[in-house]
Structure 1
């Protein structure tokens, strides 16, 4: 049975948990209230943390939690990491946020002028030193995912409950084509992590899985078909990326009844040229470029920087966060355009961002998607996000100009058949973005002036930059794969893991989640929209989130490994 977003809203309203409907609503919390609430989190073992006795918005420490710490970087009139998020409209896409001007000018609300992410300014050295290497190795190698589903069911949690078995094992939970071995229909894909927040060298590893609704996995007779599912995943990928054709996993056209590669025959294929409609039972469903179908789900786990027995960097068993998105309602592009227009009016009127609270289902981003998540409690077990912890995710999945249908990863998947597998940095090269010549990482180094937004990753500066601060282009271009470019040394990985564990113990995620040991130098504590140094117009960059996987070294890889 399919439940609409409007139905959920009715259920939530009836339950009295919609933001602002509780009879015991109180005003804004004081600083002591925040600290008291965090103290409760440091003692609670509950999978559903108790909410403050206040309106959820009034209980927020940071009303502009949608502004991430990276937005407070000191650009010094020359360094621009901002282009990765803030872009103007690309013709044909639903995203018409048109926030490219934020690359070269500050436009913070009064609330946003102060950098609320005070964990950035905390010196954690003494706490990190108290954690031994043995302790952190044991910590990150402990599974905290598998027990979550049962704990949620026990308390009657009504939102999405993790349903992919053995996900803590990473690649072992999937077959060689990325399909979950447990039959849950989740599919992993190999994608290039966004610069630079999700580079392992900056504190986290991650993976992303997609799942299409049941109808996209069925024949016209309503029977499950792997061929139909593979075909629809590929058709979706081509449309999200705006491609006219795409390579695919092996598909038997006989089980679909369509000549998908348009060669005049019905047989086994590894490419699709007819991407104008879905196949099987989903054939009559709406399709358009750069839009996901209604019912699409994404599962994203954020993990520690794992270290295997060979001292290689990998994903850890322990998860920092489990994030989930579902598209409950699909709109045509004109509706999205109107939503962006309304958002601009709200901001111009001085209104702070707000999102419908769906209770156990998370928050509604106003564009058809619900977003919910789980994060570590003080003892390392996963628990549901608090309202503000969930609020943190909303800006990137709602209000920046570079995304495609409010998402990042799928548009960055390695094209076609070879991209259907669990994420593997060693199987990717530094492909350029569409419309550019140099690799994306090399380009980022040059524009951002470092290996992270705050230019605080000294190891990346030592590895890839010259003494004068310029990028060692030849060395970057000679790197054999992404792994060699963006993973940390074992020593740095241990330090990053320890720094994040300190945050877990303190449960003060509302003050920031960045795994810093000492305070970065290139970050503002306060910003003046008019007087803080900005970038000149020549430092503005147009950028496409998609990658040209056929360019450079990847052309050979794609040709040789395509199934």
Structure 2
């Protein structure tokens, strides 16, 4: 398993694999010292000026508030967790190795010297004609990318070695979700049961980077394994699926009640309910749209990114481990995915210079790890974003 590799010595390139439910994901270990920015997991916001400590912008992320409010963040970061500690007051950036540049030096030069970025942009052969922006936002680059993916769920298809293997099986032509939150389809190829794709739109607690004010409009969708959609006899049951999603919501937001079952409903009755944990093979799809004030909900047709997560291994809270600052990262750049060291595979597809989606590179994938990792031997000891279902 990939998570075991984080306890090994650094290896520049080491071909390995993650065995999933029905297939194998092939990747490689690489040292972060080979990256232009070995601290790409630490976002530019973390280098903000605090006026000598009088302004605590760090508390926006490193806080206990979401956990106290039961918003889905089961890993508070300001002292409530004995595992994480108080990241507001005691966290420091340690170097990957003693031979690399210090993490305390801001590597995000575009925030320090924006004028240099403007000069480079004006000289670029791919400089954008801003007069065409309105039409650009209406172009459907998501559908073009979706048409390149295989027919089966990529993480289950062991024979698939294509670039688009982990592009999420969520078609924009099936959106928006219906009033009940379920994403339905008229396509027989995309339907798991009847017209159900299995995807469910959810509400979530947004951080500042996912709001129209900062230039992005998000949609987040969850899909549980097929067993969670079936009754005890294996027949499709919308009622069972809704029950299981509601039970998962209470588990994730620490709202489980005394009379809640210890296992999920229907064919998933052999799966235990754990506070703060998603079941194995839970999937998330996260399209990140441009803002279009002319569109409904300000959500442009064009997407900046398509993000995907699938849980391939169970980890449980309370496991005490020592952070491994120089841990290698396990990824596949061709397919645009990375292992977060806590049981999840994260994939990302982002616009290229011409506006077409492409798999993300190693440093871009490291950005995902900055938030979506945990206390299992990866730098940094980070947090899970709050999510709520309705």
TM-score for the superposition, normalised by structure 1: 0.52
Q: 1:136 to 1:158 in 2, by over 3 A?
A: closer
State the distance in 1 between where 2:55 and 2:36 align.
30
Q: Is the 8 A contact 1:278 1:284 kept in 2?
A: yes
User: Which position in structure 2 is the counterpart of 1:18?
Assistant: 28
Structure 2: gaps spanning 5 or more residues: 1-16, 96-100, 151-159, 186-195
Q: Is the 8 A contact 2:217 2:291 kept in 1?
A: yes
User: Which position in structure 2 is the counterpart of 1:162?
Assistant: 168
State the distance in 1 between where 2:86 and 2:286 align.
27
User: Which position in structure 2 is the counterpart of 1:357?
Assistant: 331
Q: Is the 8 A contact 1:290 1:404 kept in 2?
A: no
User: Which position in structure 2 is the counterpart of 1:234?
Assistant: 246
State the distance in 2 between where 1:207 and 1:160 align.
18
> Which sits farther off after the overlay, 229-238 or 72-81?
72-81
* Higher-RCO chain (CA-CA 8 Å, sequence separation at least 6): 1
3-state SS of 1:187 partner: strand
1:75 aligns with 2:50: yes
State the distance in 1 between where 2:180 and 2:89 align.
39
User: Which position in structure 2 is the counterpart of 1:145?
Assistant: 142
User: Which structure would you say has the larger Rg?
Assistant: 1
User: Which position in structure 1 is the counterpart of 2:366?
Assistant: 391
Q: Is the 8 A contact 2:227 2:267 kept in 1?
A: yes
Q: 1:11 to 1:243 in 2, by over 3 A?
A: closer
Root-mean-square deviation (CA, aligned residues, Å) is: 3.5
User: Which position in structure 2 is the counterpart of 1:407?
Assistant: 384
User: Which position in structure 2 is the counterpart of 1:175?
Assistant: 178
User: Which position in structure 2 is the counterpart of 1:290?
Assistant: 276
Q: Is the 8 A contact 1:222 1:281 kept in 2?
A: yes
Taking the TM superposition and a 5 Å limit, the aligned residue runs for 1:544-563 are none
Aligned-pair CA distance for 1:227: 0.6
Q: Is the 8 A contact 2:146 2:171 kept in 1?
A: no
State the distance in 2 between where 1:191 and 1:407 align.
12
3-state SS of 1:323 partner: strand
Structure 1: gaps spanning 5 or more residues: 21-55, 246-261, 263-272, 414-418, 421-563
User: Which position in structure 2 is the counterpart of 1:119?
Assistant: 110
State the distance in 2 between where 1:176 and 1:405 align.
34
1:64 aligns with 2:44: no
User: Which position in structure 2 is the counterpart of 1:324?
Assistant: 308
Q: Is the 8 A contact 2:62 2:87 kept in 1?
A: yes
Aligned-pair CA distance for 1:394: 0.7
1:225 aligns with 2:237: yes
Taking the TM superposition and a 5 Å limit, the aligned residue runs for 1:163-562 are 163-166=169-172, 172-182=175-185, 183-194=196-207, 196-245=208-257, 274-308=260-294, 314-334=298-318, 337-338=319-320, 341-343=321-323, 346-347=324-325, 351=326, 353-358=327-332, 360=335, 362-399=337-374, 407-410=384-387, 413=388, 420=390
Q: 1:333 to 1:190 in 2, by over 3 A?
A: closer
Deviation by residue 1:92-149 (Cα, 9 ceiling, x = unmatched): 9567552523457644435312211122232366769x86664111111211001113
Q: Is the 8 A contact 1:291 1:405 kept in 2?
A: no
Q: 1:235 to 1:197 in 2, by over 3 A?
A: same
Q: 1:393 to 1:296 in 2, by over 3 A?
A: same
3-state SS of 2:45 partner: helix
Q: 1:229 to 1:11 in 2, by over 3 A?
A: closer
User: Which position in structure 1 is the counterpart of 2:6?
Assistant: none
Q: Is the 8 A contact 1:398 1:406 kept in 2?
A: yes
Aligned-pair CA distance for 1:304: 1.2
3-state SS of 1:173 partner: coil
State the distance in 2 between where 1:84 and 1:186 align.
30
Which structure is higher in helix share? 1
The size of the alignment, in residue pairs, is 327
Q: 1:146 to 1:108 in 2, by over 3 A?
A: same
